[in-house]
């Protein structure tokens, strides 16, 4: 099978996984952003009075799945299963400033996701994840969302509008939320350093930069924001990108990273 055919098969596999994940997690994601009364959504579902949220049944399985995927494949959850990541991928197709945000600004802005993860950890562990909105337990889909906004505290509104603003920024800068804001991405980026499998650049890499140009997150294999989606693999003209285990060659990676 040719390199391009393998790359196409991988991307079709990713699309199928994305579709299944969207079916399973889209409503949970919606509730986390628009209905969850807690400061940090998705992590206190067992104690949440919003009985309509599917997260009451899914949250532990999802969290354990994200943790396991992070230890095995780094940020693969972002590229294969996250509904917000899929939305960012769609926005990235029409983003205005493709390839324009790089260098020092991108590196500094990239620390935003780690800062967001630290803030979430502080709110959860030190402040016991306070409620920033009055929980709307039941009701019609749209009406309940509007009631949540109506009875939310200023901090909840600020958090929600920051998230929505960062998502909409994806129409300007590709994957703005995933690259610079997402706390889950920040945690997975740390786990990626210890993950068992990741795409790596082999020693025959010629630094042509094609992998960076085809990547929606504008990165290279195993570097910051790489989600192991494998889209760059089929584009590499010298076949220098491979999914390898922790013991695989990483000479090129050490040079660039």
Model pLDDT for residues 158-196, shown as the tens digit of each residue: 999 999 999 999 999 999 999 999 999 999 999 999 999
pLDDT at 248 over 70: no
pLDDT of residue 256: 45
Question: Using CA atoms, how far apart are residues 226 and 215, in angstroms rounded to an integer?
Answer: 9
Strands (E), 141-249: 197-201, 241-245
pLDDT at 250 over 70: no
pLDDT of residue 254: 46
pLDDT at 255 over 50: no
pLDDT of residue 156: 97
Contact at 8 Å (CB) between 201 and 222? Answer: yes
Scan for tokens 């600004």, then name that residue: 105
- 244: confidence class by pLDDT, cuts 50, 70, 90: confident
pLDDT of residue 219: 94
Give the closest residue to 69 by CA, choosing from 224, 229, 176: 229
Contact at 8 Å (CB) between 136 and 31? Answer: no
pLDDT of residue 61: 96
- 1: confidence class by pLDDT, cuts 50, 70, 90: low
How far is the CA of 79 from the CAs of 13, 21, 230, 244, in angstroms? 12, 11, 9, 17
pLDDT of residue 6: 74
Tokens at residue 81, please? Answer: 């299963």
Mean pLDDT of 65-77: 96
The pTM assigned to this predicted structure is 0.90
> How much is the mean pLDDT over the chain?
91
HSE, CB side, 13 Å, CA atoms: give it for residue 156.
Answer: 22
pLDDT of residue 257: 41
- β-sheet bridge partners, residue 201: 241
Tokens at residue 216, please? Answer: 């929606």
pLDDT tens-digit series, residues 32-43: 999 999 999 999
pLDDT of residue 252: 56
Give the closest residue to 111 by CA, choosing from 213, 39, 183: 183
Using a pLDDT cut of 90, give the percent of the chain over it: 77
pLDDT tens-digit series, residues 84-132: 999 999 999 999 999 888 788 899 999 999 999 999 999 999 999 999 9
Using a pLDDT cut of 70, give the percent of the chain over it: 94
pLDDT of residue 213: 92
pLDDT at 140 over 90: no
Cα–chain center distance at 53: 21
């Amino acid at each position: 099978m040719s390199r391009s055919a393998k790359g196409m098969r991988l991307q079709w596999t990713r699309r199928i996984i994305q579709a299944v994940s969207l079916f399973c997690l889209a409503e949970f994601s919606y509730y986390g952003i628009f209905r969850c009364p807690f400061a940090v959504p998705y992590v206190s579902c067992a104690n949440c009075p919003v009985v309509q949220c599917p997260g009451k049944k899914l949250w532990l399985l999802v969290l354990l799945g994200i943790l396991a995927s992070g230890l095995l494949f780094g940020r693969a959850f972002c590229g294969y299963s996250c509904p917000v990541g899929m939305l960012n991928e769609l926005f990235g197709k029409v983003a205005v400033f493709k390839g324009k945000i790089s260098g020092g600004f991108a590196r500094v802005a990239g620390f935003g996701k780690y800062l967001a993860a630290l803030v979430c950890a502080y709110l959860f562990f030190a402040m016991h994840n306070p409620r920033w909105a009055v929980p709307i337990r039941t009701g019609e889909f749209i009406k309940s969302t509007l009631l949540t906004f109506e009875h939310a505290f200023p901090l909840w509104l600020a958090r929600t509008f920051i998230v929505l603003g960062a998502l909409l920024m994806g129409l300007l800068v590709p994957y703005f939320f995933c690259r610079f804001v997402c706390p889950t991405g920040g945690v997975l980026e740390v786990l990626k350093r210890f993950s068992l499998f990741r795409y790596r650049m082999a020693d025959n890499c010629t630094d042509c930069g094609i992998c960076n140009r085809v990547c929606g997150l504008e990165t290279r294999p195993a570097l910051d924001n790489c989600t192991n989606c494998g889209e760059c693999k089929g584009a590499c003209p010298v076949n220098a990108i491979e999914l390898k285990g922790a013991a695989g060659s990483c000479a090129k990676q050490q040079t660039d990273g």
